Amino acid sequence: MKQKKRKKQKKTAKNAPKILAISLICLLILGAIGVLVGKKTQESYYPLKYQRAIEKYTEEYDLPPALLYAVIHTESSFDSEAESDVGAIGLTQIMPETFEWLQKKLKEEHPDEALYDPEISIKYGAYFYKILLDKYDGDVKTAAAAYHSGTGQVAKWLSDPQYSANGKTLDKIPGKNANHYASKILKAMEAYETIYEKEIGTYGTGKNTD
């Protein structure tokens, strides 16, 4: 019995490296599967939709593509038919009066319903953010606050030293809704930059380069 036990122990010891190697391989495979599933989950929550139009207008207006993806993700979840309770329309949820103002600057004429067109909504959303980023020294947080609450409200916040040290960008956003919105934009932007670093690139600064 002792001899058989010794043989069994020797056999087990001999096979130990093989068992360890197989275990490590299994762990690596499971890890790879976990990473893949995790990435797919992230991609489904932060999708790359309307990529052609987004690339076109972020390049035209010198914006980071991740910013416009973040705006559409936050504003409408990529639903081109989206409407808000206050009347904002389309992918980038632009108000009709803002749309009219932007059209005058671009010397274009469209009916309000044109905002349901993804191409139009993306173009004007990008153009609006370009204006805001130029106005606020390329600061995405301040631009997002203005996109949400209006430039008039942001001007009041900028004039208050407890919210802005330099009077040009916001150190703190006092409005709860505006602060929550800006935080969502920054979080989504970071997610797009991380998940799609190779796919969407990093061109565009959001700053005036004229």
Query: Which pair of tokens denotes residue 28?
Result: 């690596």
Output the pLDDT for position 18.
64
Distance CA 30, CA 25 (A): 9
Which of 182, 202, 205, 206 has the alpha carbon at shortest distance from 193? 202
Q: By the 8 A CB rule, do 73 and 42 touch?
A: no
DSSP string of 105-160?
A: HHT----GGGGGSHHHHHHHHHHHHHHHHHHTTT-HHHHHHHHHH-HHHHHHHHTS
Q: Is residue 28 pLDDT above 90, yes or no?
A: no
pLDDT at 41 over 50: yes
Residue bearing the bigger pLDDT, 199 or 158 = 158
> d(Cα 71, Cα 144) in Å, to the nearest integer?
9
Q: How many residues does the chain have?
A: 210
Residue 33 corresponds to which tokens in the numbers above? 């599967």
Six token digits for residue 131: 């204006």
Residue 16 has pLDDT above 50, yes or no: yes
Q: What is the mean pLDDT of the chain?
A: 86
Q: Which of 43, 75, 108, 193 is labelled catalytic?
A: 75
Residues of the chain above pLDDT 70, percent? 76
Note if 75 is an active site residue. yes
Mean local confidence (pLDDT), 150-176: 96
Q: What is the pLDDT of residue 36?
A: 44
Q: What does the pLDDT look like over 122-135, one tens digit per residue?
A: 999 999 999 999 99
**Which has the minimum average pLDDT: 8-22, 71-85, 154-168?**
8-22
Residue 35, pLDDT score: 43
- Can you give the pLDDT at residue 96? 97
Q: For residues 163 and 177, what is the distance between their CA atoms, to the nearest angstrom? A: 15
